[in-house]
Each structure stands twice: as C-alpha cells, then as structure tokens.
Amino acid sequence: MFDLIVKNGQIVGESNVVEANLYVKDGRFAAISTEEMPARETVDAAGRLVFPGAVDPHVHFNDPGMTEGEDFYTGSASAVAGGITSVFEMPLTDPLTQDEPSFLLKKSEASKKSVADFGLYLALTPDNSSKVGKLMELEPIGFKAFMSYSPEIPMVRDGELLAGMRAIKAANSRIAVHCENNEIIAYLTKELEAAGRRDPRAYTESRPPYAEWEAVQRAVTLATITGVQLHVVHSSTPEGAEIVARARAAGHPISVETAQHFLFLDAEDFQRIGAFALCNPPLREPGNADRLWAALQSGEIDCVATDHAPYTIEEKLRGQDSVWTTPAGLNHIQTANQLLIGEGIKRNVPLTRLAQLFATMPARLFNIYPKKGAITIGGDADMFLFDPEEEWTVVPEHTFYKQKWTPFAGMKVSGRVKRTWVRGTTVYEDGAPMGAITVKPGFGRFIPGRTGTASA
C-alpha cells in the first residue's frame, strides 16, 4: 500500500514529461506508473504539471537577529508557497554565521521554524580561513564570500579570497562568491554623490556591468589556480556567465546562477519603482533579460536562485529620497519560480529545462542529488503541482512575507502553484485569495552539506 498517489498529472522528469501516476511511500518517490494501485491518499492532478520541488541555493531569511524583515518561518512559508522545498540560507545574519556558536544558533532557530528543508552557509571572512577544516564538522552547505563591501559581512581582499579558496579546496567543500569590484564601485559612488546624484539611475551607474565582469574573472582565475569548486552567485548579465562557461568548458568545477528578478525587471523598472527595486548587482538595461533567457536555455547559466533578501518597509522607504541610504535586496521568493515557469512556457523553454534550472542543477552542484532536486525513485518526495492555465496578479498582502512588499506587485502571472509536498507531506495548499501552510513550524529538516565536487 502506498501513502499517496498523484493521479494523471504531467510528471516533469529530468529528460522527459510523462502523463502517469506518481506514488509516494515513506516520504520518498516510490513508483511512476500508468497502472492504478492502492494508496491511502489520492490527489487528482489532471491538467496539471508535477514538478520536482525547487532547490533555491541563495536565500536570506534574516534569522537570527534581523527578524523584523523576515524569519525562518515566514521565509520558508513563502518559499513552499512558491514551490521551493529546499533553501540554502546565506550567513548575513546577526550574529554573522562564521563560527560554531553562530552556526548552531541559526540551525536551532531554523529547526524550530522552517517548513522547508534547509542547508546553511558559513561566511568566509578575512580571518577565518584557517578554521575552515574544523568548521566542516558543522556540515555547512558551502562557504560564502563577498568581494565588495556589504554592511553585514566583511568583504575579502584578493589575498584573503585566495587563502579561503585554498582552505576550502583542502576541505573538499565549495565557495559561493558575490562578484563585484569594490574599488570601481567606491570610486563611481563617490563621484556620483559629489555631483549631488541620488536617483535610481545614479545607483545603476555606480555599479556598471564591467565592475561585475572584472570580479567574476578574478574569482574564476583564483578558483582555477586553487582548484576549488566555485559558484558565482546572481550573475546579472550573460557576459559574466560566459566567463564561467569558458572555465567550465576547460574542465574546472565552476558554476553560475542568475536571479529571477534579472529576467523580469530592468533599470527602467528601477526608475519607476525606486528603492523597493534596489539590489546588488543592480537591475540592468532593457534587452539584457532576453539575452539572459538565451543563456539559460543554452546551458551557459547553470541554475536560478531567488536571492530573496527582505528588509522592512521603513528601511526601504529611506531610500526613496536617496538611493545611497537603503539596503540592497528584494522580496520575491514566493513568486520567483511561478513567474519563471509561466514565462518559460511562453518562450518555449522545455519543461525539463525549467526543472533543471530551479531544482536538478542546484541539487547536483551542491551534491545533494538525487535525494533532492528530481522526481527520481528513492529520492525525497519533494514536489509541487502547477496549474499552467491559472492567471493571477501579484498582491503583496497575499504573500507570506513578513513585510508585505515586493517589486513584482501588480505583475500578471500565468500559472500557479496549487500544492507543495516536502518528503511526501503536504506543506502548502493553495486557496483564495491566498493558500495555507499545512504543517507546523519546524517541519523542515537540516540538509547536511556534503563534501565532493558537483555530481553534474
């Protein structure tokens, strides 16, 4: 007897889409068959797509220490409502996740609150590379470093990044790097501020694409030298991804993600929306998104990540008068993949490719595949039902975000997540005007980071 049958859906596998029944037992995918076999619970999925649960390799849930903006419950609730069943949370919290006490504190908070499964990053700072080996006992999903200034994590200079990469290579883990050239940004910002500029356009000009490309090239060079597994986060342009693609083609374990907001918003939207669309790297010029879509389809970009980075409405409002005074980050984890799938279908991106981008590839790159990231027999039954026909409009008040704002407010979406499962248990069910979380806080489990390079 199976625990669950999801009947007559279009099951999106790694290489094909089949109309069949999907069976779950003991929290795992147990069978895919056109036969009907007995199960305790039946869900009719006729006309719907059954996708593997998305693995979001880049989220900020602000917990602990900055929970006015989001916490592990509201963040993970928003995630599962958007089909995301596993999240990798960044170390930019208070205290910074950089040592054993801060890591264990976050793990404990997340274990009490999360409704999605979660992996946790450790910060690579200017002075903790000698501790990397010992920190591996905590089973981080990876290490995160910033090449440019952030108010929440000390940036690393090139020598420190080199030292960190050596240590992380020796520990057989991986490093995710925020690539922007700090010197260029600092110089341009000073120049624009001196000229009295404080409008969104000035922010765009202060962080040009070349400041990103230069840093991507530098990170890739150091990764090539050290042999470390490098993941370039939120590449905003196809040129940045091309640098990674060349290194990957030469056999280096280097990957790149882009974030969904670069696919749907541009510098013109930033002008219109203001500080609520301010992020790093900034939104790029119109036309850039079409080229990113091409890179997603061709495989030059490995995967997508939301980089969901919430701040309070008050913090964002500060920037409406001056872009220099607002924190960078966007609320959008709940809508990110729903937008991606709807638009992807319109652009004739194969459903299998979409599933690779938001589920299979991140799971492979972080070495948790096939337990996560695919509808594979024996893997965790993480999945979501998607109705490709439903049209709806993004309303911030109908999200689980702690702070009810998003730059996607008012955007029309084609297709909607109807139900989400984590390890075979329904965690989210859609409803009008918004759905509900169907498990208690703390249902989510820690995903231990595994050593070894990508199984891609």
- Of 109-117, 158-166, 240-248, 302-310, the window that binds Zn ion (rule: CB under 5 A) is 302-310
Q: Which of residues 130-149 bind Zn ion (CB under 5 A)?
A: none
Distance of CA 131 to the CA centre of its chain: 27
Mark the segment that binds Zn ion (CB under 5 A) among 49-57, 61-69, 240-248, 303-311. Answer: 303-311
Identify which of 177, 137, 139 has the alpha carbon closest to the alpha carbon of residue 158.
177
Q: Which is nearer to Zn ion, 150 or 172 (CB)?
A: 150
Pick between residue 56 and residue 307 the one whose CB is nearest to Zn ion.
307
> Please, which residue, 149 or 224, has the CB nearer to Zn ion?
149
Distance CA(128)–CA(107), nearest Å, equals 20
Q: Which of residues 177 and 361 has its CB atom nearest to Zn ion in the complex?
A: 177
Q: How far apart are CA 85 and CA 444, in angstroms?
A: 9
Q: Which stretch binds Zn ion (CB under 5 A): 20-28, 205-213, 301-309, 316-324?
A: 301-309
CB 313 within 8 A of CB 403: yes
Residue among 240, 14, 233, 213 nearest 144 (CA): 233
Task: Count CB atoms within 10 A of the CB of residue 133.
Answer: 14
SS3 category, 391: strand
Q: Could you tell me the CA-to-CA distances from 385 to 7, 23, 171, 362, 397 in Å, in that order?
A: 11, 14, 39, 20, 23
Of 319, 250, 246, the C-alpha closest to 279 is 319
| Residue (109 or 307) nearer to Zn ion, CB | 307
Cβ proximity to Zn ion: between 146 and 213 the closer is: 146
DSSP 308: B
Question: Which residue's CB is nearer to Zn ion, number 89 or number 307?
Answer: 307
Q: C-beta of 437: minimal distance to Zn ion in Å?
A: 24
Site string for Zn ion, 249-288 (x = CB under 5 A): ----------------------------------------
| Residue 183 Cβ vs Zn ion, minimum distance, rounded to whole Å | 21
Q: Please identify, using beta-carbon distances, which residue of 233 and 374 lies nearer to Zn ion.
A: 233
Residue that has been written with the tokens 């729903």 in this structure? 338
Report d(CA 330, CA 26) in Å as an integer: 37
Is residue 177 a contact partner of residue 222, using CB atoms and an 8 Å limit? no
CA-to-CA distance for 10 and 344, rounded, in angstroms?
16
State the nearest-atom distance from the C-beta of 309 to Zn ion, in Å: 5
Cα distances (Å, whole numbers) of residue 161 to 255, 266, 360: 17, 31, 29
Please tell me the distance from the alpha carbon of residue 424 to that of residue 40, in angstroms, as a whole number.
Answer: 12
307 versus 387: smaller Cβ distance to Zn ion: 307
Q: Which is nearer to Zn ion, 307 or 380 (CB)?
A: 307
To Zn ion, the closest distance from the beta carbon of 231 in angstroms equals 12
Helix (H) or strand (E) holding 135: helix 132-135
Q: How far is the CB of 280 from Zn ion (least distance, A)?
A: 8
Residues in region 87-116 near Zn ion by CB under 5 A: none
Stretch that binds Zn ion, among 268-276, 295-303, 306-314, 387-395 (CB under 5 A): 306-314
Q: How far is the CB of 60 from Zn ion (least distance, A)?
A: 6
Q: Compute CA 254 distance to the chain's CA centroid, rounded to the nearest angstrom.
A: 17
Sign of the alpha-carbon dihedral angle for 412, 418, 424, 426: positive
Q: Least distance from C-beta 358 to Zn ion, angstroms?
A: 17
Stretches 187-195, 307-315, 415-423, 442-450: which one binds Zn ion (CB under 5 A)?
307-315
- Position of minimal CB gap to Zn ion: 307
- Nearest by Cα to 338 from 430, 425, 403: 430
The amino acid present at 233, given as its one-letter code, is: V
Considering the complex, what minimum distance in angstroms separates the CB of residue 240 from Zn ion?
15
Residue 212 interacts with Zn ion (CB under 5 A)? no
180 contacts Zn ion (rule: CB under 5 A): no
Residue with smaller CB distance to Zn ion, 21 or 237: 237
Measured from the CB of residue 306, what is the shortest distance to Zn ion in angstroms? 9
Q: Output the smallest distance, CB 261 to Zn ion, in A.
A: 11
Q: Which is nearer to Zn ion, 144 or 252 (CB)?
A: 144
CB 28 within 8 A of CB 379: yes
Shortest distance (Å) from residue 12 CB to Zn ion = 27
- Supply the minimum distance, in Å, between the C-beta of residue 260 and Zn ion: 13
Class of residue 438 by CB neighbours under 10 A (exposed 0-12, middle 13-18, buried 19+): middle
Of 11-19, 77-85, 111-119, 305-313, which segment contacts Zn ion by CB under 5 A?
305-313
The one segment of 129-137, 201-209, 300-308, 375-383 that binds Zn ion by CB under 5 A: 300-308
Integer-rounded Cα Rg, in Å, for the chain is 21
Instruction: State yes or no: residue 307 binds Zn ion (CB under 5 A).
Output: yes
CB 63 within 8 A of CB 92: no
Instruction: Kindly determine how many residues on this chain lie close enough to bind Zn ion according to the rule CB under 5 A.
Output: 1
Contact footprint for Zn ion (CB under 5 A): 307
